[in-house]
Amino acid sequence: MSEKRRRAHIVGAGISGLTVGHELARRGFEVVLLEKLSEVGGLARTFRYGDFSFDIGPHRFHTDREHVGEFIESVLGDEGIAIPRYSSVYLFGKYHQWPLRPKSLFRLPKSVLIKCFFDLFRRPKFTTERFDDYIKSKYGQTLYEVFFHDYTVKYNWTDPSKLHAHWASASIDRAIIDKRASMNSLWDTLKVTLLPKPVTTQFLYPKHGVDVFCRKLRESIEAQGGRIVCGVKNIELESADKKVKSIEYDGQKDDVDVLVWTAPLPLLAEKMGIDKPNLRYLSLVAYNVEIDHKATLPDQWIYYPSKGLDIARVSFPENFSPFMVPEGKGGICIEITTLGPPSMDYAESKRESIINDMEKVGLSTRSNILNVHIELVENTYPLYELGYVQEKERFNKALSKFGNVHLAGRTGLFWYNNMDNSIEQALQLAEEISPEGKGQT
């Protein structure tokens, strides 16, 4: 008689959930993934409208971890293409390559350059946990005022003095992606800017959209006997003897051996009967704009820190892959954030402002817009408010009493990361759950 296979229930079929599911299925587990949306991918979905394709903002694979890179390449196969990174920031009415180059310095107002020079020698010491104090100690008062303050308020809906300093290291590191172009201080920024040659960063991208990676993982899981249930409306957990004993979803009830949670932490607390942590998430409104011409800029993504603009960041699908748009056409994904769940009423109220901003910054004209598709994406970014570390620690301590529950992913770990980080953590988690590579009890 064959041994009974251990069963792993995974809540959330995003990058992390699918990676854990893939690895546990490969190790012999009976895998069940539960996803509330109608398709897999989570934050790594691709929206398709006829011949136009848009990711949820800029997505790309870039890692210095060999085993992570090998895993990504093995999943993508011939879908992966290598692309040089191009990104910019829109400051003082002009586009500047990011990281900054020498020619960009000379295009900045002289008063800003002079103040930045003096900031090299008079930056305050960092003595608190606050984001604004950290930025001033690293970059000086001037860059804080002209870039970091307004962009932070716009993106986080929170005064920088009420954010934890961890948001600085997380968001800046994620934006740079290449350690050779590290810009974690004013001196580093100056050194990178003045390098004889800019650091050329290559990253990997699926030529038909980032969700190809997710769909390939799904195919592999199902080929190994795993089950993926999309459109799940509600989940209930039953706990006893310091374990989650069963999970109920859409009228079905299963016994639980292992539970991997990648959804928001407050929801897990509710289902487990644990005090909810005071942890909040930002959500995203994406305006996916079809335009009647190719992109006018070479960048994959651009930051817009000015408080005079509603748009916060844009990305151009065809600058990731020419297969994302029809020949001669273009696409622009424009992002704004909301605190808490987004609403279509709010998104529609911003439509005209977004189109006006597009014209103002030279992305396109109203007459060249073919269509605007609005997508609402919940729980996109963890909000690193002061006190979040203590809230996470309190929740994790309460959760640790349940031996068969594991957290994964950006949302489940309340950890702002890139896809590569999520994949690395998911691979490690699968190894911890099944260190001998077996799924039998």
Is the pLDDT at 138 greater than 90, yes or no? no
Distance CA 236, CA 271 (A): 6
Q: What is the mean pLDDT of the chain?
A: 90
**Which of 163, 182, 200 is at the close of a domain?**
200
CATH of the domain at 12: 3.50.50.60
Asked if residue 135 belongs to a domain, the reply is yes
Contact between 295 and 47 under an 8 Å Cβ cutoff? The reply is: no
**Which of 361, 382, 403 is at the close of a domain?**
382
Is the pLDDT at 18 greater than 50, yes or no? yes
Domain span at residue 364 reads 281-382
* Same domain as 165, residue 288: no
What is the pLDDT averaged over residues 416-437? 92
Cβ of 266: how many Cβ atoms within 10 Å?
Answer: 18
* Same domain as 20, residue 109: no
Is the pLDDT at 179 greater than 50, yes or no? no
Closest to 439 measured CA to CA, from 95, 119, 20:
20
* Same domain as 377, residue 391: no
Is the pLDDT at 123 greater than 90, yes or no? no
Asked if residue 171 belongs to a domain, the reply is yes
Is the pLDDT at 9 greater than 90, yes or no? yes
Distance CA 185, CA 269 (A): 38
Q: Which residues are within 8 A (CB) of 288 and not within 5 positions of it... i.e. 6 or more apart?
A: 47, 49, 52, 54, 331, 332, 333, 372, 373, 374, 375
Mean pLDDT lowest for which of 23-32, 97-106, 145-154? Answer: 97-106
Is the pLDDT at 26 greater than 90, yes or no? yes
Asked if residue 75 belongs to a domain, the reply is no
CATH of the domain at 94: 1.10.3110
Per-residue pLDDT of 35-61, as tens digits, reads 999 999 999 999 999 999 999 999 999
* Same domain as 376, residue 333: yes
Closest to 129 measured CA to CA, from 166, 171, 170, 159:
166
* Same domain as 195, residue 91: yes
Asked if residue 194 belongs to a domain, the reply is yes
Closest to 246 measured CA to CA, from 235, 258, 238, 257:
238
* Same domain as 214, residue 358: no
**How high is the pLDDT of residue 143?**
83
- pLDDT band at 182, cuts 50/70/90? very low
> Which contiguous run of DSSP H or E holds residue 112?
helix 110-119
Beta strands in 59-126 (DSSP E): 80-84, 87-91, 94-97
* Same domain as 243, residue 224: yes
- pLDDT band at 171, cuts 50/70/90? confident
Contact between 98 and 303 under an 8 Å Cβ cutoff? The reply is: yes
Contact between 340 and 107 under an 8 Å Cβ cutoff? The reply is: no
Per-residue pLDDT of 54-110, as tens digits, reads 999 999 998 889 999 999 999 999 999 999 988 999 988 989 887 655 566 667 788
Closest to 22 measured CA to CA, from 223, 169, 162:
223
In this structure, what is the dihedral angle of CA atoms 59, 23, 17, 375, given to the nearest 10 degrees?
40
CATH of the domain at 316: 3.90.660.20
Q: 145 versus 12: which is more confidently predicted? A: 12
* Same domain as 323, residue 242: no
**How high is the pLDDT of residue 269?**
97
* Same domain as 189, residue 109: yes
HSE value, Cβ hemisphere, 13 Å, CA-based, for 55: 29
Per-residue pLDDT of 361-408, as tens digits, reads 999 999 999 999 999 999 999 999 999 999 999 999 999 999 999 999
Distance CA 164, CA 151 (A): 15
User: Given the structure tokens 């960048």, which residue do they identify?
Assistant: 299
Distance CA 441, CA 436 (A): 12
Q: Which amino acid is at 370?
A: L
Cβ of 12: how many Cβ atoms within 10 Å?
Answer: 26
pLDDT over 90 percentage in the chain: 73
Q: Omega before 84 cis (within 30°)? A: no
Per-residue pLDDT of 186-228, as tens digits, reads 445 545 444 445 556 789 999 999 999 999 999 999 999 999 9
**Which of 363, 382, 401 is at the close of a domain?**
382
**How high is the pLDDT of residue 103?**
62
Asked if residue 48 belongs to a domain, the reply is no
- pLDDT band at 321, cuts 50/70/90? very high
> Which contiguous run of DSSP H or E holds residue 378?
strand 369-382
* Same domain as 390, residue 378: no
* Same domain as 351, residue 268: no
- The CA–CA distances, whole Å, from 390 to 157, 170, 265, 340 equal 21, 18, 14, 21
**How high is the pLDDT of residue 173?**
54
Asked if residue 72 belongs to a domain, the reply is no
Asked if residue 305 belongs to a domain, the reply is yes
* Same domain as 389, residue 378: no
Asked if residue 378 belongs to a domain, the reply is yes
Per-residue pLDDT of 285-299, as tens digits, reads 999 999 999 999 999
Produce one character per residue of 302-323: b if its CB has 16 or more CB atoms within 10 Å, e if not: bbbbbeebbbbbbbbbbbbbee
- What tokens were used for 198? 């800019």
Distance CA 57, CA 305 (A): 16
- What tokens were used for 407? 């957290």
Contact between 403 and 314 under an 8 Å Cβ cutoff? The reply is: no
SS3 47: strand
Counting the structural domains of the chain, the total is: 3
Residue 43 φ/ψ, nearest 5 degrees:
-75, -5
